[in-house]
Structure 1
Amino acid sequence: MKGTPVTIKDIAKALNISISTVSRALRGMPEIHESTRTAVIKLAEELDYQPNQLAKNLAKSRTKTIGVIVPNLSYYFFSAALNSIEEAAMQAGYSVMVCQSNESYLREVTNIQNLLRGQVEGFIISLARDTNDYSHIHKLMRKEVPLVLFDRYADEIEATKVIVNNKEAAFKATEHLLENGCKKIGFLAGPPNLLISTQRLMGYKEALEKHGIAFSNTNVFHTDFTQDNTVIKTLEMMSTLNPDGIVAVSDRIAFSAMFALKQKGLRIPEDVAVVSFNNEPICTLLSPTLSSVSQPVQEMGTEVVRLLLRQIENEHKLPVETKILETNLIVRESSARK
């Protein structure tokens, strides 16, 4: 079968069952025994079976369902994006099946497999923190399953995506601290493999260099997004760098960093100014209130649905698109130094 497309006939022959049984198993028909259905689906995955256009069209007319995979719905950004996605999908007559990867690559792969078995017509995905192997995404693309990535993506995946200009946003946030008198600015980053963190780090670096300050990797501290790890990294930054400003890659990291600074008896922003990303509602409830880059999360959710439905409802494969949305730095007490 190597070099030629795998067919239902090939799967039936390999499992010694009828072609009609394979067809019904792939369509999830209830009369097929669970063990048979599992064996058929497993082999179809292993052989990279791609259903023909007629089968895909039949599926489309049957489900009107979109699969959405996000890293974690406890993150404000993703819960807000999901609200917008569900609203836009509902208005178009589609329902949404939602899965969380919980930042796990393996769980992300499993989510995709489960949603495919649920016969979703397309995917909206934001990549997990631990994802650095993209073969599961490339497999979807080979099968021509409609797909849109948002917020978190990878340059190795040539798929339609909706993103913000992370580098430019971080440049503005860092420059804001410099213009407010900060001389030594640390960067609390996410995991090294996370592209949005890397892009924001690039913006931070460019802002420093524009203002004649040499960039050093020793001023960058990578966190895993958990509170305990962020507190440890913040205290490590204070003991080795002793900055007067911090750019945090997300509000969740900034919350933990501010907690650590207060534990050390440091004043914000007088001793250390802080700015971050996402502009979560709680930013206005903190003391001091937190300066943060606002992302157009509602617009992002609406746009990913629009681009996905274009693929689903078009008979021909569409060219890859990249939609870049604008951000806005909201200045509050945490960075407004006198």
Structure 2
Amino acid sequence: MKSAPVTIKDIAKALNISISTVSRALRGMPEIHPDTRSAVMRLAEEWDYQPNQLAKNLAKSRTKTIGVIVPNLSYYFFSAMLNSIEDAAIQAGYSVLVCQSNESYLRETMQIQNLLRSQVEGFILSLSRDTSNCAHVERLIQKNVPLVLFDRYADNMAASKVMVDNREAAFKATEHLIENGCRRIAFLAGPPQLVLSNQRLAGYRDALTKHGLYMGDQYVFHCDYTQENTLMQTLALMSLPQPPDGLLTVSDRIAYPAMYAMKQKGVRIPDDVAVVSFNNEPLSSLFSPSLTSISQPIQEMGMETVRLLLRQLEATDGPITPETTVMPTQLVVRESSLRMKSADFLNGVLSS
């Protein structure tokens, strides 16, 4: 259930001053004593007061609006998720306000404030690449603002979440490379602070350890999701004294420039390096060679995200316990990873 927003009336009561004094202090009017202004501003910041331009209209009605913040709508995963979220929200009688963080922590915090001023009733959020300090999200949780995180989130955050089993999916993808004869498998990961990437890194390590191939992190390189950085990291990876013969990437968005960089160096895919990725974007089947990728149930994830948010919005007995929904994935095998097809030869390699 959504908690009532802080008003100037609340601040006035707490400081035992008039509402008009609070209003003038917040507007920086010169007739207000500096000590009074400081007390008002300090309490307003502590209580996360937001100017409510529509207070009179909203006192008797709801906005029926959900705020959605995603890293970038040019990413296939997030645009597809938004389609599902919007469809589910509309069916439930809600409209959606959409913002992009553009992978910026500062912009993410600003968009949260903008949506609060627009009086959204709840938030659906996927954290930016640069977000390591989650105090802005914790404030929403502390104020009992309905919130659901999806795909990207922070550890130990008491909010509802929708995700896939990233560790298991990465294990499955890495084991697929091993079963196709790869012995030196690299991982092009996301930024080190990204929980999703670290979960996939753990699954990658699990598979290598199971098959006796783990050699530390000499084949782990971190990318920032830009093409330029991915090209640079891929070229550095392929310049190692013993370059990899298998490659797992944290997303298709990284796989495409990585495959381009390898082709420019004359690396044959999958003969020299087999490749597996995440997200199974539509372009994966059209790329040459077609890309083996982990498919996520995006439609179902969007619907579940809205369901969890509606459960909070429509609660009548106070805040409810956060839920976490973990959804299954599927490895879609294509040309980029199929190096060996002889089961007899494969068994000989794995037993050696």
Q: TM-score, normalised by structure 1?
A: 0.87
Contact 1:171-1:207 within 8 A present in 2 as well:
yes
Residues 1:150 and 1:79: Cα distance change in structure 2 (over 3 Å)? same
| Ranges in structure 2 where 5+ consecutive residues have no aligned partner | 1-5, 29-36, 341-352
State the SS of the aligned residue for 1:293: strand
What is the CA-CA distance between 1:337 and the residue it aligns to?
1.2
Give the structure 2 partner of residue 118 of structure 1. Answer: 118
Equivalent-residue separation in structure 2 for 1:45 and 1:322 (angstroms): 33
- The higher radius of gyration belongs to 2
Give the structure 1 partner of residue 346 of structure 2. Answer: none
1:248-287 CA distances to partner (integer Å, 9 max, x unpaired)?
0000100010000100011100011000000000001100
Give the structure 1 partner of residue 107 of structure 2. Answer: 107
Q: One-letter code of the match for 2:66?
A: I
Equivalent-residue separation in structure 2 for 1:319 and 1:91 (angstroms): 25
Give the structure 1 partner of residue 207 of structure 2. Answer: 207
What is the CA-CA distance between 1:317 and the residue it aligns to?
1.1
Equivalent-residue separation in structure 1 for 2:114 and 2:229 (angstroms): 32
Equivalent-residue separation in structure 2 for 1:50 and 1:143 (angstroms): 11
Q: One-letter code of the match for 1:327?
A: T
Residues 1:49 and 1:250: Cα distance change in structure 2 (over 3 Å)? closer
Contact 1:276-1:291 within 8 A present in 2 as well:
yes
Contact 1:169-1:203 within 8 A present in 2 as well:
yes
Structure 1 stretches of at least 4 aligned residues deviating more than 4 Å after TM superposition: 13-18, 41-45
Residues 1:107 and 1:17: Cα distance change in structure 2 (over 3 Å)? farther
Residues 1:220 and 1:60: Cα distance change in structure 2 (over 3 Å)? farther
Number of residue pairs matched?
A: 318
Give the structure 2 partner of residue 329 of structure 1. Answer: 331
Q: One-letter code of the match for 2:221?
A: F
State the SS of the aligned residue for 1:63: coil
Contact 1:59-1:119 within 8 A present in 2 as well:
no
Equivalent-residue separation in structure 2 for 1:295 and 1:289 (angstroms): 18
Write the mapping of 1:155-170 to structure 2, written as runs, cut at 5 A: 155-170=155-170
Contact 1:59-1:121 within 8 A present in 2 as well:
no
Contact 2:84-2:299 within 8 A present in 1 as well:
yes
Residues 1:142 and 1:268: Cα distance change in structure 2 (over 3 Å)? same
What is the CA-CA distance between 1:12 and the residue it aligns to?
3.8
Equivalent-residue separation in structure 2 for 1:42 and 1:106 (angstroms): 22
Residues 1:171 and 1:99: Cα distance change in structure 2 (over 3 Å)? same
Residues 1:59 and 1:171: Cα distance change in structure 2 (over 3 Å)? farther
Equivalent-residue separation in structure 1 for 2:277 and 2:187 (angstroms): 10
State the identity as a percent.
Answer: 66
State the SS of the aligned residue for 2:106: helix
Contact 2:11-2:44 within 8 A present in 1 as well:
no
Equivalent-residue separation in structure 1 for 2:140 and 2:178 (angstroms): 44
Write the mapping of 1:57-206 to structure 2, written as runs, cut at 5 A: 61-206=61-206
Equivalent-residue separation in structure 1 for 2:41 and 2:302 (angstroms): 33
Contact 1:205-1:215 within 8 A present in 2 as well:
no
Residues 1:49 and 1:110: Cα distance change in structure 2 (over 3 Å)? closer
1:291-328 CA distances to partner (integer Å, 9 max, x unpaired)?
00000111111000010011001122111110000000
Write the mapping of 1:252-267 to structure 2, written as runs, cut at 5 A: 252-267=253-268
Instruction: Give the alignment partner of residue 318 of structure 1, picking from 317, 320, 330.
Output: 320
Residues 1:266 and 1:331: Cα distance change in structure 2 (over 3 Å)? same
State the SS of the aligned residue for 2:257: helix
Equivalent-residue separation in structure 2 for 1:102 and 1:273 (angstroms): 31
Q: TM-score, normalised by structure 2?
A: 0.84
State the SS of the aligned residue for 1:334: helix
Q: One-letter code of the match for 1:178?
A: I
State the SS of the aligned residue for 2:218: helix
1:146-185 CA distances to partner (integer Å, 9 max, x unpaired)?
0000000111311110010000000000000000000110
Give the structure 2 partner of residue 301 of structure 1. Answer: 302
Q: One-letter code of the match for 2:276?
A: V
